[in-house]
Copies of this chain bind each other. A is one copy, B any other.
Amino acid sequence: MVGLGPGDAALLAPMAEAALAEAHCIVGYGPYVDLVSPALLAGKDVVATGMTGEVARCRAALEAAAAGRRVVLVSSGDAGVYGMAGLALEMLDAMGLPQALEFSVVPGIPAVCAAAALLGAPLTHDFAVISLSDLLTPLPVIEARLEAAFAADFVVAIYNPRSRKRSGHLAEALARAARHRDPQTPVGMVKNAFRPAQEIRLTSLAQADPDWADMLTLVVVGNSSSRLAAGRFLTPRGYAGKYALEG
């Protein structure tokens, strides 16, 4: 299992690159496979499938591995954060293959850290990571997690904020945040972090436009201490209460 990070080759660690270089077979969602450099794909079996093909992808990867091939299943970001590591492990178990296979995960830079780096320092205190996709999770569970995270003053990082079928979920999540947070609380939205089409919006709960987000946008809502500092999104850790920070 290899997470490709944000997609920029300069953010792919040597360990991940080596795993790709040594693979016989590379399996993944088409647009993620496209993030792998052509030099690393050359001469390999490449299996690229569509968006809802996760189960087929994992099965192809595990069957190839069971046949003795060295297989890399790629995710974007980190393979363990809403990535394929979980499904692959679950199917490895369900298919009864654990003895035959060696399973390992090479960690990567998750989308939440890539977006945070571009926004400033929004994650410098406790945070919750929540996906708004209700394809596999009942909406009431998602809503209860949002409510708990805002009420307990977590910074909240939102994956999968919108899709054509779920156009209202992000607006509802921001409205929920507004019941717990000041209207000036920073809200950051990042599309295509560290890719050519990168777009960053740093705004506030009062001004945030949920319709700007798409399925791949990462949204960060601050906690009660978050604010703008030097034009960036800052969540202070609490040093100012104990130390003099001025020059």
Residues of B within 8 A of A87 (CB): 124, 237, 239, 245
Hey, what's the 0/1 contact readout for A232-247 against B, CB within 8 Å counting as 1? Answer: 1011111111110111
User: A92-B229, A247-B97 are contacts. A141–B123 as well, Cβ < 8 Å?
Assistant: no
How many residues of chain A get a CB closer than 8 Å to chain B's CBs?
Answer: 91
Contact of B18 with A55 in the complex, beta carbons under 8 Å: no
CA distance A212 to B137 in the complex (A): 35
Contact of B232 with A89 in the complex, beta carbons under 8 Å: yes
CA distance A25 to B122 in the complex (A): 25
Hey, what's the 0/1 contact readout for A85-117 against B, CB within 8 Å counting as 1? Answer: 111111111111110000111111110011011
Neighbour of A82 across the interface among B92, B103, B124, B229, CB < 8 A: B124
The smallest C-beta distance from A6 to any residue of chain B, in angstroms, reads: 8
Q: How many chain copies?
A: 2
Contact of B230 with A93 in the complex, beta carbons under 8 Å: yes
The smallest C-beta distance from A219 to any residue of chain B, in angstroms, reads: 14
The smallest C-beta distance from A194 to any residue of chain B, in angstroms, reads: 8
Contact of B113 with A107 in the complex, beta carbons under 8 Å: yes
CA distance A88 to B120 in the complex (A): 10
Contact of A113 with B230 in the complex, beta carbons under 8 Å: no
User: A13-B10, A94-B247, A103-B230 are contacts. A123–B153 as well, Cβ < 8 Å?
Assistant: no
Contact of B129 with A80 in the complex, beta carbons under 8 Å: no
A81: Cβ under 8 A from any B Cβ: yes
User: A10-B13, A11-B107, A107-B113 are contacts. A245–B95 as well, Cβ < 8 Å?
Assistant: yes
Contact of B90 with A239 in the complex, beta carbons under 8 Å: yes
Given A11-B14, A86-B237, A90-B245, 15 more pairs with CB closer than 8 A = A12-B13, A83-B124, A85-B117, A85-B120, A85-B124, A86-B125, A86-B236, A87-B245, A89-B120, A89-B121, A89-B230, A98-B230, A126-B145, A137-B238, A148-B154
> Which A residues lie at the B interface, using CB under 8 A?
1, 3, 5-6, 8-15, 18, 54-55, 59, 78-83, 85-98, 103-110, 113-114, 116-118, 120-131, 136-137, 141-142, 144-145, 147-149, 151-154, 229-232, 234-243, 245-247
Q: Pull 11 A–B residue pairs with CB atoms less than 8 Å apart, ordered by A.
A: A11-B107, A81-B124, A95-B247, A98-B231, A110-B113, A126-B129, A127-B128, A136-B242, A145-B154, A147-B152, A149-B149
